Chains A and B, each alone.
Chain A
Amino acid sequence: GDSVTQMEGPVTLSEEAFLTINCTYTATGYPSLFWYVQYPGEGLQLLLKATKADDKGSNKGFEATYRKETTSFHLEKGSVQVSDSAVYFCALRKAAGNKLTFGGGTRVLVKP
């Protein structure tokens, strides 16, 4: 079945450091890929998405490129802030109305 694997956390960084969270997936067909962010005590917010190979999703300084050849969708940000401290989830989705399959989540802690 479909699955998403992302690096385990927690990831602890200093402010202005470079952040990478690896995400790889296993799925048949051509899934859409997503990154969601969850701040403490809250639900999930869509951070960015990509719907086909070589698409780059970007938002709030975060970027991720859909790499079909490596089945990856790594999340990057060049300079993190304390406010980026959260749990980040990589996810895939096969079709409209279908469920999201989530990775295990990566907790990121940015220290001032």
Chain B
Amino acid sequence: GAVVSQHPSRVICKSGTSVKIECRSLDFQATTMFWYRQFPKKSLMLMATSNEGSKATYEQGVEKDKFLINHASLTLSTLTVTSAHPEDSSFYICSATPGQYNSPLHFGNGTRLTVT
């Protein structure tokens, strides 16, 4: 079945530094990728939608300058948390779809970010 690989699975960084999270579709071309953030014991909040070769569309309230998303190829999207702060600590999950009608979304295993 379709696989989405997300890396790293865990990362700890110091406040003020930037962290990059990668999301790769391993056996299909992902025309669209989504980035979610999950707070403890909460649901997933969609942060942004990225289409290959174009700018990401951010959800209301998500700072696009803080959460930089790049979808430069059909198999890779990256999320960079810039100038991270402790409140950015969270579980980030990406998902990808080939975009065909009714094709399912495939999720990565998530990245646990801890900012100290």
Partner-B contacts on A (CB < 8 A): 32, 34, 36, 41-46, 49, 51, 89, 93, 95-97, 99-100, 102-105, 107
Which one of B49, B106, B107, B110 contacts A99 once the chains associate, using CB atoms below 8 Å?
Answer: B49
Q: A43-B93, A89-B43, A105-B43 are in contact. Are A96 and B99 (CB under 8 A)?
A: yes
Task: Judge whether B54 is part of the interface by a CB distance below 8 angstroms.
Answer: no
Contact (Cβ within 8 A) B93 A100: no
Contact (Cβ within 8 A) B95 A96: no
- Chain B interface extent, by class: 20 to 34
> Which residues of chain A come closer than 8 Å to B93, judged between CB atoms?
43-44
Q: A102-B43, A103-B43, A105-B42 are in contact. Are A44 and B97 (CB under 8 A)?
A: no
> Which residues of chain B come closer than 8 Å to A89, judged between CB atoms?
43-44
Contact (Cβ within 8 A) A43 B108: yes
Can you report 30 residue pairs joining A to B where beta carbons are below 8 Å apart? A34-B104, A41-B110, A42-B109, A42-B110, A43-B6, A43-B93, A44-B44, A44-B95, A44-B107, A46-B105, A46-B106, A89-B44, A93-B105, A95-B101, A96-B99, A96-B101, A97-B32, A97-B97, A97-B99, A99-B46, A99-B49, A100-B34, A100-B46, A100-B95, A100-B105, A103-B43, A104-B42, A105-B41, A105-B43, A107-B41
